[in-house]
Amino acid sequence: MRNFTAKNLIVPADAAVPESPKSFATAPDNSVLLALSGGVDSAVTALRLQRAGYAVQALYMQLWTEPAAAEQSRAELERAQSLAEKLDLPFIALDLKEYFKSWVIKKFLAAYAEGQTPNPCIYCNLSLKFRLPELAVLAGAKPCRYFATGHYARVEFSPETGLYKLKTAKDPKKDQSYMLYHLQQADLARLLLPLGDLTKEEVRAEAESYGLAAAKAKESQDICFVADKNHHDFLRRCNCGSKPGNFVTPSGRVLGPHQGLAHYTVGQQKRLGIALGEKMCVAEIRAEDNCIVLVPAKDFKQESALVSELSFIAPEAIPVGSEIELCVRYRGRKVPARIDLPPGANASHLEPGAQALLTNPDGFPPISPGQAAVFYRGDEVLGGGIWTAAQY
């Protein structure tokens, strides 16, 4: 008997972000909800889950995009549904457009308006993708015991500690563990990541061996909701961060005009649109007076920075004042750092608004407020947070 069916469900626009993952203990032991995009990664994830004996429920996320990208969105939905039909998977198209606008687009625009450089994929993972099991049930879907994605990362259980660990992928070029730093023990307990031990080449080869069209699909590295893939133009259309202001020195001397805060990021040295006789670097973006601070590139060095919105996967793994490895931004290189919490605080019991201080006397790669700071020890992700400020 065929399993393929197609449903359309809607998450209400005013739905709140589920606070924590639920344990759907009454769901069948082999049931898994799969985030299916129609691309090669989610296709091979589906294949591997089927081969392992799971009953897979495919779910496609319908997200808000600019009107000019509507045709592309329809094509992606059709591709995902065709893949589900080929693999004989029950299929749900979950309409999250208004929810996505509320919890991702608005935060993205607000961050740029505050002079930050946000990563919308982090917002999406936090409030949407890794709450899909709860959001799907809210919209009327049946619950599943597990949740699966095509992310390149690994989850391991430690019998010694009784805790789950999040680890980097086998393929360092595709590792996405940085994007998952916010996951908690309850998330990891239900999460299946079948691609963590594969390279991208192996994934494509596996898809091709099954005759899947997704095997040759191009990868998307762009912001999914921007029509022309130019986020500066998108911000301009939204009238966000596009008000001209001044470049200034740290002492306040005006150097010349800038095009708008959203066109720059901390650490930027090229395409500044101003010539000052030496290479300059963006050291600070100040929303309060719409100014951008420039310093000579040779003098730019960040030795300490603050991280807020802290999240730890296994808090006891990070004693106060410990040495860790730090990834400043997605696909960035890891650098050593010392992590310190406020006096009397520890990673297991953080007060609301608590911040961590990260230091390295040799300096960090350029830190941009709004990006994620992710803490590692070897191949294990310890946690992370959002950069709020850096000293230069």
The catalytic site residues sit at 124, 224
Using a 10 angstrom Cβ sphere, with 0-12 exposed, 13-18 middle and 19 or more buried, the burial of residue 332 is: middle
Strands 304-312 and 191-192, sheet pairing? unpaired
Q: Quickly tell me which residue has 């008997």 as its tokens.
A: 1
Task: Read off the tokens for 99.
Answer: 């929810």
- Cβ atoms of 283 and 266 within 8 Å: the answer is yes
The whole-angstrom separation of Cα 317 and Cα 195 is 26
Which pair of structure tokens corresponds to residue 49?
Answer: 């889950």
Q: Which two structure tokens, joined as six digits, stand for 92?
A: 């749900």
CA distance 123 to 117: 13
Phi-psi region of 275 (alpha: psi -120 to 50; beta: other; left: phi over 0): beta
Determine the Cα–Cα distance for residues 308 and 351; give it in Å rounded to an integer: 11
Backbone angles phi, psi at 59, to 5 degrees: -130, 125
